[in-house]
A and B are shown apart, each in its own frame.
Chain A
């Protein structure tokens, strides 16, 4: 009973902290309306570009058993949403350091390990909104989706965002100390753009690279999203959706304790050597 009450209090407190960050992020977002409009516009550019690339693929005699345009739009949308989850926390931490606000946040009685989740509520929501808007915008351009699978797609996307946030937390930990360089996220982003199959099926990769592609959560997210959202997604090679979901959950269970441990240790180390301020 006492444990349940403590958990409830903890969740309520976490929600209050997340709400605090959400509100200030919302004000920040709406303070710069043109920047917000440009974000949406930028998100739509690749789906127009790939409309023509798809014509080349589909009309060029390539042996493709599925609608390449829908395939690549899902890849672009997933890549964009996961990149937001991957980079937002590190960028937010760097911004706090440069604005001289990180220390002020650390003086507040908020458990440091809860900061990544609290600070990611608005970027996470924006990632989902942008993903939905991009998918909707691609429909008049010729993409077709299985609308009955939207709830499943939402679950998969959320799992993907949560899984990549774990990597983002580990990367942000390095950024807190290095202020600039972020080898974790830089290397992961390179790996994700080549191995995840955003623009082509991973089956095209050489065997040894394909094996590596199943180590990163991006690949599972794309695979599962395409299988549920594309009208004939089941024809795609690779593991089925339930396997991808289990893999993403397993990834979260393994990565979160590690990422939060690294983040906590980094802040403790920064506290000891006096490296939490300055840049």
Chain B
């Protein structure tokens, strides 16, 4: 396997309460030290897209802030192409393309071209190459036709694509995307994720992407790191993650919603059922029991049932299970 582009080793970050002098300048609600990252280790290889998942406050943004040099780790280290993200921050920032969650980081009174030209100059792209590079990048993200429109005249989806253009303009080696689709409608989000996948493949980029939209993570179908309270709960391929789910699931499709409710209440009386969920006219059963046992239990309700079968665990349930057991353990 190729050398990792991003290597994070035993990274920890604790936000301490402000000192007395600092509190005189600015009040804070932080009274106790807050552990944002705790012994986080991971690697991202060229061409790999790593989805960073976790509930709010899990440490995703702090992880990205360490990599982009916006904060310093308390323990451990993060390197990009062998350069220390803290010590060699200025060099590392040339290698990173960063897309923050908020589109107000763009110059909204300025056109797409002006936004990219400003960023390109700060990145040190020679003036002779800058304008061609901007046009090519706008073509790549599908904004060439809107090149002279100002930020305020763009839709949220277009703003997200402009932020992606800004992140890739200087041809970075690593893309760090903090909830890139948070303000985009589902169709736009699908297009943006496809675009990110295409760019990552074509340019052999290492990509770290955080998202709360699990359908996007499933669409990426690549590596996943799951954080909870600053710790890594899972790190590996998405397919291995779903295979790790403790309980297989059975889906019973009923005639209608009331039939599904009836089947659910019948199943709730038997032992060995871990969870029951009714969604529309379907009942999802998490259990170790053989499917025959379920069929036998529902023997008298044949006329209410359309089909019974095993189904792949949903990512939402897998995450819930993993985060739940992690909370119990801690």
- Which A residues lie at the B interface, using CB under 8 A? 13, 16-17, 19-20, 23-24, 27-28, 31, 99-101, 103-111, 174, 177-179, 181, 271-277
Contact B98 A109 (CB under 8 A): no
Contact B122 A181 (CB under 8 A): no
Interface-lining segment among B63-71, B259-267, B279-287? B63-71
CB distance from A234 to the nearest CB of B (A): 47
Q: Given A103-B105, A107-B69, list of 17 further CB < 8 A pairs?
A: A16-B127, A17-B121, A20-B118, A20-B121, A23-B117, A27-B110, A100-B102, A101-B105, A101-B107, A104-B100, A107-B96, A108-B93, A109-B91, A177-B25, A177-B26, A271-B70, A276-B70
Contacts of B94 in A (CB 8 A): 109
> Within the assembled complex, what's the spacing in Å between the Cα atoms of A201 and B215?
73
Contacts of B105 in A (CB 8 A): 100-101, 103-104
CB distance from B28 to the nearest CB of A (A): 9
A98 nearest in chain B by CB position: B104
- Given A101-B105, A174-B25 in contact, is the A110-B72 Cβ separation under 8 Å? no
CB distance from B120 to the nearest CB of A (A): 8
- Given A24-B114, A108-B93, A109-B94 in contact, is the A272-B71 Cβ separation under 8 Å? yes
Contacts of A27 in B (CB 8 A): 109-110, 114
- Given A27-B114, A177-B25 in contact, is the A274-B104 Cβ separation under 8 Å? no
Q: Mark B52-81, 1 if CB is under 8 A from A, else 0.
A: 000000000000010011111000000000
Contact B122 A179 (CB under 8 A): no
Contact B104 A109 (CB under 8 A): no
Contact B118 A16 (CB under 8 A): no
| B16 CB within 8 Å of chain A | yes
Within 8 A of A (CB), among B112-168: 114, 117-119, 121-124, 127
Contact B25 A107 (CB under 8 A): no
Residue among A23, A106, A109 making CB contact with B70, cutoff 8 Å: A106
Q: Mark B79-112, 1 if CB is under 8 A from A, else 0.
A: 0000000000011011010101010110101100
Contact B122 A110 (CB under 8 A): yes
Contact B69 A13 (CB under 8 A): no
Q: Mark B173-191, 1 if CB is under 8 A from A, else 0.
A: 0000000000000000000
Within 8 A of A (CB), among B307-321: none
B95 nearest in chain A by CB position: A109
| B301 CB within 8 Å of chain A | no
- Given A100-B102, A109-B124 in contact, is the A24-B93 Cβ separation under 8 Å? no
- Given A20-B121, A108-B119 in contact, is the A181-B25 Cβ separation under 8 Å? yes
Interface band, chain B: 20 to 34
Contacts of A106 in B (CB 8 A): 69-70
Most buried by B among A107, A110, A178, A271: A107
Contact A99 B114 (CB under 8 A): no
Contact A24 B25 (CB under 8 A): no
14 contacts between A and B (CB under 8 A): A17-B121, A20-B117, A27-B114, A100-B105, A101-B104, A104-B105, A106-B70, A107-B68, A108-B122, A109-B93, A109-B122, A272-B72, A273-B16, A275-B22
B73 nearest in chain A by CB position: A272
Q: A-B pairs with the 3 shortest C-beta distances?
A: A20-B121, A178-B25, A108-B122
CB distance from B174 to the nearest CB of A (A): 12
> Within the assembled complex, what's the spacing in Å between the Cα atoms of A99 and B110?
14
Q: Mark B240-281, 1 if CB is under 8 A from A, else 0.
A: 000000000000000000000000000000000000000000
Contacts of B121 in A (CB 8 A): 16-17, 19-20, 23
Residue among B15, B18, B102, B123 making CB contact with A109, cutoff 8 Å: B123
- Given A17-B121, A24-B110, A24-B114 in contact, is the A274-B102 Cβ separation under 8 Å? no
Contacts of B16 in A (CB 8 A): 273
Contacts of A31 in B (CB 8 A): 109
Contacts of B98 in A (CB 8 A): 104, 107
Contact A109 B90 (CB under 8 A): yes
A112 nearest in chain B by CB position: B90
Contacts of A24 in B (CB 8 A): 107, 110, 114, 118
Contact A274 B15 (CB under 8 A): yes
Most buried by B among A13, A20, A104, A105: A104
Within 8 A of A (CB), among B217-253: none
CB distance from B214 to the nearest CB of A (A): 27
A279 nearest in chain B by CB position: B26
Contacts of A271 in B (CB 8 A): 69-72
Contacts of A272 in B (CB 8 A): 71-72
Contact B26 A179 (CB under 8 A): yes
Most buried by B among A13, A19, A273: A273
CB distance from B78 to the nearest CB of A (A): 14
Contacts of A276 in B (CB 8 A): 70
> Within the assembled complex, what's the spacing in Å between the Cα atoms of A28 and B118?
13
> Within the assembled complex, what's the spacing in Å between the Cα atoms of A133 and B52?
56
- Given A104-B100, A178-B26, A273-B18 in contact, is the A17-B122 Cβ separation under 8 Å? yes
Contacts of B124 in A (CB 8 A): 13, 16, 109
CB distance from B295 to the nearest CB of A (A): 56
B93 nearest in chain A by CB position: A109
B34 nearest in chain A by CB position: A274
CB distance from B125 to the nearest CB of A (A): 9
Contacts of B122 in A (CB 8 A): 17, 20, 105, 108-110
B91 nearest in chain A by CB position: A109
Contact B118 A23 (CB under 8 A): yes
B102 nearest in chain A by CB position: A100
